Amino acid sequence: MADFINSLGITSPTIHFNKDSEFYINETVNSGRGTLSKDGALSVNTGKFTGRAAKDKYVVKSARTESTVWWENDVNVMTPDQFGKLKDKIISFLNSQETVYSTERCIGAHATHNLGVRLVTTGSSHALFSLNMFRDSVRDFDTKKDFTILHAPGLEVNPSEFGTKSPTVITTCFDTNTVLICGTFYAGEIKKSVFSILNYILPELGILPMHAGANKSENETSVFFGLSGTGKTTLSTDEGRLLVGDDEHGLSDEGVFNFEGGCYAKTIALSKKNEPGIWAATNRRGAMVENVVMSEEGEFDFDDDSICENGRSSYPLSFIDSVEPSHAGGVPKDIFFLTADAFGVLPPVSRLTRDQALFYFVLGYTAKVAGTEAGITEPTATFSACFGAPFMLRHPSEYAKLLGEYIDRHGIKVWLINTGWTAGPYGEGHRYPIPVTRNIIRSVQSGKMDSTDFRVDEIFNLELPTSVEGIDNDVLHPHKSWKSQESYQEKAKSLARSFHTQMEKFGDFYTAIKDSGPHS
């Protein structure tokens, strides 16, 4: 490995390669870049960036990527010359450091569809992150197939020198299999860069990459798509079922396989009662907790969002008691699309037809609530194609086509689950309790919903169950919980219209399935 790093021109620093987690924890604490909780978890603060720098994402435009990348998806163009200059700058920066950390890991719990990833970084906590999040190598590193990440979080570049929008850059070159990251300490950039790579590569092989969690029982597998805050990690980590993974998976005709070897759980309002597995994994030595307030006694306050709402916990899958050892499952029986509807008008569960599944997959709807971002004072509809648009480098229709083919071949059932509000919008109504949503999910997984009658909602054109064991029937039909039916109709029809407005941008793909969308 040292020879490889030297071949990059990194020759000056002391290089620590593939050390264990204890080494990286001690390096971080001893350098003053992190502290330990009373239970031994490593607490770090990522400074200015507590989430992804979405506007600073670049891909090198070349003969390979020019017509295959979805450039309209806020993907900035970088030229090969600009990339080469930035790479030289980062290598120079790495050479100026006393110590550099490097890991060699793997992405993809599949014998064939896996990717080797080498990380070279100035951050010992980032090396721990790669240890937690990625998998043990299963083969020798292949420079023609595998990727190298050069990570210099403390380096801010001059935008005029490199043609960038800011001093922060996250850029990928598919011709040289290299990722460059500088100007941000947020560890999620490492993980999401690799996810974006797989989202670009795998469709060429007929594999559907999914921004989704997955779990399994002895007889069946479930997949949970969802944007941040919709409950993807919480619902895929469920007592009585084996966790396959909480965030990123691939789907082949052999089944589901996890890309990662760990979880990167959102910690806001983390509850020992409602999320015992995530709580226990977060509060132990080896976990890395980002941007969460910690008391002088070393206790995390997961309800305090004074640092940010995007606090995160990174830990290996081995920290979860009920985890599938192979990190893989069969072809899913059920796929769940999770949405946190802050307008309070979507039902808690509805069954989707094939075309509706493609409609809501590409729509990727959830909602932001007041206070989550500056300037947001009321619920705001948010759309992210394929429930992960920032990481989807190809046009959404390519992923939707693959999803449709898997639904057709394997008879997969798809469900829309509202984990958001009922009895009114955010500020008036209340959020569906996690136990209620879990009960709905379990009813689907057990097959009980197969014998339930359904009726079609007049506005959203969705099939709603007439009953779910253990749940008041009024809960299943949102309009029944609103005090004002006039207000409900107004909110519901407005949201339904916004779905069609959003989908119109997808042209012919939308035209082919528009009748499966809402009626209003």
Domains of the chain by residue range: 2-49+56-205, 333-516
In this prediction, residue 374 has a pLDDT band, given cuts at 50, 70 and 90, of very low
Q: Is the pLDDT of residue 370 over 80?
A: no
In this prediction, residue 380 has a pLDDT band, given cuts at 50, 70 and 90, of confident
Look up residue 7 and give its two tokens.
């071949």
What's the CA gap between 341 and 386, in Å, rounded? 17
Q: Is the pLDDT of residue 371 over 60?
A: no
Give the SS3 label for residue 273.
coil
Closest CA to 1 of 178, 124, 143: 143
Q: Is 216 one of the annotated active-site residues of the chain?
A: no
Structure pTM? 0.91
Helices (H) and strands (E) in the chain, counts: 13, 28
Q: Is the pLDDT of residue 3 over 80?
A: no
Q: Is the pLDDT of residue 441 over 60?
A: yes
Residue among 192, 327, 368, 442 flagged as catalytic:
192
What's the CA gap between 236 and 320, in Å, rounded? 12
The CA R_g of the chain, rounded to the nearest whole Å, is 23
- In the predicted model, what is the mean pLDDT of the chain? 94
Give percent above pLDDT 70 in the chain.
Answer: 98
Look up residue 217 and give its two tokens.
């029982």
- pLDDT (mean) for 407-425: 96
What pLDDT is attached to residue 475?
87
In this prediction, residue 228 has a pLDDT band, given cuts at 50, 70 and 90, of confident
62-104 residue pLDDT tens: 999 999 999 999 999 999 999 999 999 999 999 999 999 999 9
What pLDDT is attached to residue 375?
47
What pLDDT is attached to residue 472?
87
Q: Is 35 one of the annotated active-site residues of the chain?
A: no
Residues 44/124, Cβ–Cβ less than 8 Å = no
Sign of CA dihedral 328, 331, 336, 337: positive
Residue among 238, 246, 247, 457 flagged as catalytic:
247
Integer angstrom CA distances of residue 147 from 116, 119, 286? 6, 9, 26
Q: Is 192 one of the annotated active-site residues of the chain?
A: yes
List of E strands, 31-122? 35-36, 42-44, 57-60, 76-78, 99-107, 115-121
Give the SS3 label for residue 170.
strand
What pLDDT is attached to residue 234?
87
What's the CA gap between 260 and 134, in Å, rounded? 5
Token pair 């029944």 is found at 480
Hey, what's the torsion of the CAs at 245, 248, 252, 255, to 10 degrees? 10
What pLDDT is attached to residue 193?
97
Residues 186/129, Cβ–Cβ less than 8 Å = no
What's the CA gap between 262 and 279, in Å, rounded? 15
Tell me which architecture the domain covering 333-516 has in CATH.
Answer: Alpha-Beta Complex (3.90)
Q: Is the pLDDT of residue 376 over 70?
A: no
What's the CA gap between 86 and 169, in Å, rounded? 9
Q: Is 52 one of the annotated active-site residues of the chain?
A: yes
Helix axes of 21-30 and 124-133: crossing angle, nearest 10 degrees = 150
In what side-by-side order are the strands of the sheet with 262-266?
35-36, 42-44, 288-290, 312-316, 262-266
Residues 6+ apart with CB under 8 A from 311: 266, 267, 268, 289, 290, 291, 292, 302, 305
Tell me which architecture the domain covering 2-49+56-205 has in CATH.
Answer: 3-Layer(aba) Sandwich (3.40)
Look up residue 392 and give its two tokens.
């989807």
Residues 120/180, Cβ–Cβ less than 8 Å = no
Residues 226/335, Cβ–Cβ less than 8 Å = no
Closest CA to 412 of 350, 357, 349, 347: 357
Q: Which residues of 142-161 are buried (b: 16+ CB within 10 A; e: fewer)?
A: eeeebbbbbbbbebebeeee
Q: Is the pLDDT of residue 28 over 90?
A: yes
What's the CA gap between 286 and 394, in Å, rounded? 35
Helix axes of 354-363 and 396-410: crossing angle, nearest 10 degrees = 150
Q: Is the pLDDT of residue 377 over 80?
A: no
- pLDDT (mean) for 406-433: 95
129-168 residue pLDDT tens: 999 999 999 899 998 999 999 999 999 999 999 999 999 9
One fold for 2-49+56-205 and 333-516: no
In this prediction, residue 372 has a pLDDT band, given cuts at 50, 70 and 90, of very low
* 411 burial level (CB within 10 Å; 0-12, 13-18, 19+): exposed
Residue among 232, 327, 351, 395 flagged as catalytic:
232
Give percent above pLDDT 90 in the chain.
Answer: 87
Range name among 7-11, 497-501, 508-512 with the lowest pLDDT average: 7-11
Q: Is the pLDDT of residue 373 over 50?
A: no
Residues 327/138, Cβ–Cβ less than 8 Å = no
Integer angstrom CA distances of residue 384 from 91, 134, 455? 35, 25, 28
Residue among 37, 50, 52, 230 flagged as catalytic:
52
331-346 residue pLDDT tens: 999 999 999 999 999 9
Give the phi and the psi of residue 347 in degrees, each rounded to 5.
Answer: -70, 160
Find how far residue 235's CA is from the centre of its chain: 14
Residue among 148, 222, 228, 236 flagged as catalytic:
228
Residue among 57, 87, 241, 312 flagged as catalytic:
312
- pLDDT (mean) for 123-128: 98
179-214 residue pLDDT tens: 999 999 999 999 999 999 999 999 999 999 999 999
- pLDDT (mean) for 372-386: 72
Residue among 135, 151, 191, 211 flagged as catalytic:
211
What's the CA gap between 145 and 104, in Å, rounded? 14
Closest CA to 110 of 221, 7, 255: 255
For residue 172, the one-letter residue type is T
Q: Is 19 one of the annotated active-site residues of the chain?
A: no
Q: Is 184 one of the annotated active-site residues of the chain?
A: no
In this prediction, residue 237 has a pLDDT band, given cuts at 50, 70 and 90, of confident
